Chain A
Amino acid sequence: MKVALDNLTKKWGTVVGADSITLNINDGEFIAFLGPSGCGKTTTLLMVAGIYKPTAGYIRFDDYMVNHMAPKDRNIGMVFQSYALYPHMDVFKNISYPLKLKKIPAKELKERTRKIADMMGIGHLLDRKPAQLSGGQQQRVALGRALVKEPGLLLFDEPLSNLDARLRLSMRSEIKRLQLELGITSIYVTHDQVEAMTMADRVAVIQSGRLQAFAPPDELYDRPQTLFIAGFVGNPPMNFITVDILHENGLFSARAPGLTMPLSAGHTDKVAEKGRVIMGIRPEDITIANEGAAGEVYIVEPLGRDDLIDVKIGDLHVHVLADPEMSLKMGDTVNLQFNANKVQFFDPETERSLLW
Chain B
Amino acid sequence: MSFTKSPEDNNPVKIPGQTVNFIIAIVGGLLGIVAFFLPWIGFSSGGGLLGSLSGLKIGAGPVVALSKGAVIFRGTPTSYLVPIAGMVTLLVVFLAYRRKIIVEKDGFWLIALGALPLLVLLGQFGEAQRDAAKVGVDIHYLSGLIATFLALLLIILSGTLTTAALARQKPSFRNTLGAYGFMSPTSLLVIIFFLIPVVLLFILSLTNLSSANFGDPWTFIGLGNYRRMFSDKFFPKILRNTVFYVVMTLAFFNVGLALALALLTSHINRRSSFFFRLIWLLPRITPSVVYIVMWKRFTQVPPYGIINQFLGWAGIQHQPYWLNETPWLFVILVNGFVGASFGMIIFTSAIEAIPKDFIIAAKVDGASSWQIIKDITLPLLRWPLLFVTTYQTLSLLVSFEYILLLTEGGPGLFTTEVWSLTAYKRALFTYFGSNQWAYGAAWGFVLVVIGAILSFIYLRVFRFDDLVQEPKIDVL
Contacts and interface: CB of A to CB of B under 8 A. Distances in A.
A98 interface: yes
A88 B381 CA distance: 10
Given A72-B363, A72-B366, A87-B380, A101 B371 contact: yes
Size bracket of the B interface: 10 to 19
B361 A78 contact: yes
A12 to B, nearest CB: 13
Contacts of B358: 84, 86
13 contacts: A51-B360, A51-B363, A51-B364, A71-B363, A71-B364, A72-B365, A80-B357, A82-B357, A84-B361, A86-B361, A97-B365, A101-B367, A145-B361
A49 interface: yes
A51 B376 CA distance: 17
Interface in B365-385: 365-368, 371, 375-376, 379-380, 382
A40 interface: no
Size bracket of the A interface: 20 to 34
B371 A76 contact: no
B355 A82 contact: yes
Contacts of B382: 88
B366 A80 contact: no
Interface in A212-254: none
B380 A88 contact: yes
Nearest to A93: B375
Contacts of B367: 72, 97, 101
A62 B263 CA distance: 36
A49 B360 contact: yes
Interface of A: 46, 49-51, 70-74, 76-78, 80, 82, 84, 86-88, 97-98, 101-102, 145, 149, 155
Contacts, number: 63
What 10 A-B pairs are tightest by C-beta distance, nearest first?
Answer: A84-B357, A84-B361, A71-B363, A72-B366, A101-B366, A98-B365, A88-B379, A78-B364, A82-B357, A80-B357
A155 B364 CA distance: 10
A93 to B, nearest CB: 9
Contact of B361 (A70, A73, A80, A88): A80
B357 A145 contact: no
Given A49-B360, A72-B364, A86-B379, 9 more contacts: A51-B360, A76-B364, A78-B361, A80-B361, A82-B355, A82-B357, A84-B358, A86-B358, A86-B361
Contacts of A73: 366
Contacts of B365: 72, 97-98, 101, 145, 149
Contacts of A74: 364
Nearest to A74: B364
B364 A77 contact: yes
Contacts of A49: 360, 363-364
B375 A97 contact: yes
Interface in B228-277: none
A114 to B, nearest CB: 18
Nearest to A100: B375
Nearest to A101: B366
Contacts of A77: 364
Nearest to A81: B357
A351 B357 CA distance: 37
B363 A50 contact: yes
Contacts of A51: 360, 363-364
B364 to A, nearest CB: 4
A30 to B, nearest CB: 19
Nearest to A77: B364
A71 B363 CA distance: 6
A337 to B, nearest CB: 51
Nearest to B371: A101
A71 B355 CA distance: 18
Contacts of B361: 78, 80, 84, 86, 145
Interface in B158-191: none
Among A46, A51, A70, A72, which residue has the most Cβ atoms of chain B within 10 A?
A: A72
A45 B78 CA distance: 74
A74 B376 CA distance: 20
Nearest to A103: B366
A53 to B, nearest CB: 13
A145 B358 CA distance: 13
Among B360, B361, B363, which residue has the most Cβ atoms of chain A within 10 A?
A: B361
A82 B367 CA distance: 19
Given A78-B360, A82-B355, A82-B357, A149 B366 contact: yes
Contacts of A71: 360, 363-364, 366
Among B358, B363, B365, which residue has the most Cβ atoms of chain A within 10 A?
A: B365
A101 B362 CA distance: 10
Contacts of A97: 362, 365, 367, 375
Nearest to A145: B365
